[in-house]
Amino acid sequence: MAIRIIVKEPDEVLHKKAKEVTKITPNVQKLLDDMADTMYDADGVGLAAPQVGILKRLIVIDAGDEHGLIKMINPEIVESEGEQFGPEGCLSIPGWNGDVRRAEKVTVKGLNREGNELIVTGTGLLARAFQHEIDHLNGVLFTEIADRVYEYVPEQPRKELENR
């Protein structure tokens, strides 16, 4: 496993549509593993293959819920409902957030690393992450669909504010 370099905006690869994976090879499986390592190393929730410069329809997500790490090949949203609105960031656009409208609940279908069908239904953060990463596969960045984009300033820990 290896940590890959995360491609940053305005790299043109982030604006191109990724190609469907037609054959699951050891290289595809290694790429999924590398993407997971890269996502964790960068403290991310999700990562799409175009973010490491590869135009293949692969995503990895870990929203910190009961689903754990999800590695998916050729993901597609097959059902969505409700609406959520809130802040989103991106490992490819560090230092910026945006307020984005997303479905509250999505069902996503794809393949796992062995080529078996994988169907996952998620709400909240997991639903947001699926939509965000699948947007990456279609060359769409959150900044293009956000109601508002703003510089991200991490909040100071509450404890530090109370001591003033």
Active-site residue numbers? 133
> Is residue 29 annotated as involved in ligand binding?
no
Tokens 């998916």 sit on residue: 72
Contact 111, 73 (CB under 8 A): yes
Query: Do the strands 70-81 and 84-89 form a parallel or antiparallel pair, or are they unpaired?
Result: unpaired
> Is residue 90 annotated as involved in ligand binding?
yes
Which residue, among 14, 6, 77, has the nearest Cα to 35 in the 3D structure? 6
- The DSSP H or E segment spanning 25 is none
> Is residue 136 annotated as involved in ligand binding?
yes
Tokens of 78: 């097959």
Binding residues: 90, 132, 136
Binding residues for Fe cation: 90, 132, 136
